[in-house]
Amino acid sequence: FYLANIHKKTSLEALRSGVHQLQRAASSGGKVSRKTKDLVRYSFPKFVATQDALNDLLQELTGGGPADPAVRLAELADMLEEVGTQCERVYAPLVERHDRTSELRGMLNLLDRYQGLLALPAQIEADAAQG
């Protein structure tokens, strides 16, 4: 399972070579050569620094972003301002039409309510003309 997941792209020849080296290390009692010890000793700080840099890069790429809260808040404020501008551009005409429609409905209600009074002068004139 380990080889299938971790070394799925490793060639068969490289795996055989690794098995041979592990067998040789096991047959020598698990002793590590001086050369390997020196390599680990001198390269370990570089490995740790590289690992930290990779972790920081991964955090930024996956959305961790800068650690400074002020920077994150400024980014959020910019995003909110952009969303507000887009909403205003899209919804402002709808709100204006709604307000105008409400105004017209109010006027129509007034005309319906006082229709009898508004028609009265024309009715009086028609009655006077008939005698």
Query: How far is the C-alpha of 38 from the C-alpha of 30, rounded, in Å?
Result: 16
pLDDT, tens digit (0-9, with 9 covering 90-100), for 1-28 = 566 666 777 788 888 888 888 777 777 7
pLDDT in tens, 103-131: 999 999 999 999 988 889 999 999 999 97
Is residue 83 classed exposed, middle or buried when 0-12, 13-18 and 19+ CB atoms within 10 A define those classes?
exposed
Q: Which amino acid is at 119?
A: A
